[in-house]
């Protein structure tokens, strides 16, 4: 059984998330933080859609990328941050509903590189519809102050 996250690690994730301009601009929020797993939620707004009224794939991808990054960060030591080096996202169904929920899960946590599974679901009329899945590679970097 994986030990629970320390309050310091949870605070580090929450502080980093608050510092992300794009997530703030999109209106995303943290739904869950667990060791090796983070869930982010993005409530629907018309400003997040493409021409047919679905959530735009760019917003879906950004949410998935951040969920995976924070999942990896839960397992990295204090003083380290993460950067995505590569990710692939397959769009499975039109993303429509009251919100999107992206889950990042660590598949392999290494000293330098980590790999995460990404899954995005649309919350629609009480149901969860799988709208995207992907894989992501991240690199651990020394924490630095934002510029």
Domain spans in the chain, listed from the N-terminal domain onward: 7-142
pLDDT of 3 reads 81
CB-CB contact of 26 with 60 (8 Å):
no
Q: For the chain, how long is the longest CA-to-CA vector?
A: 46
* Contacts with 5 (C-beta within 8 Å, 6 or more apart), sequence order: 33, 34, 35, 74
pLDDT of 144 reads 77
CB-CB contact of 39 with 101 (8 Å):
yes
The yes/no answer on whether domain 7-142 falls in CATH 3.10.129.10 is yes
User: pTM higher than 0.85 for the full model?
Assistant: yes
pLDDT of 147 reads 64
- Interhelix angle 7-18/57-73, nearest 10 degrees: 150
pLDDT of 146 reads 64
Counting as low any pLDDT under 50, the low residues of the chain are none
pLDDT of 42 reads 98
């Amino acid at each position: 059984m994986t030990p629970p996250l320390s309050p310091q690690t949870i605070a580090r994730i929450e502080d980093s998330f608050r510092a992300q301009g794009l997530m703030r601009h999109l209106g995303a929020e943290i739904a869950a933080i667990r060791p090796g797993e983070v869930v982010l939620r993005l409530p629907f707004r018309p400003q997040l859609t493409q021409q047919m009224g679905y959530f735009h794939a760019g917003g879906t991808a950004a949410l998935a990328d951040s969920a995976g990054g924070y999942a990896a960060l839960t397992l990295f030591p204090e003083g380290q941050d993460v950067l995505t080096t590569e990710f692939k996202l397959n769009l499975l169904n039109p993303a429509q509903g009251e919100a999107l929920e992206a889950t990042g899960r660590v598949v392999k946590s290494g000293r330098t590189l980590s790999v995460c599974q990404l899954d995005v679901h649309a919350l629609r009329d009480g149901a969860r519809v799988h709208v995207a899945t992907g894989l992501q590679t991240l690199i651990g970097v020394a924490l630095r102050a934002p510029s």
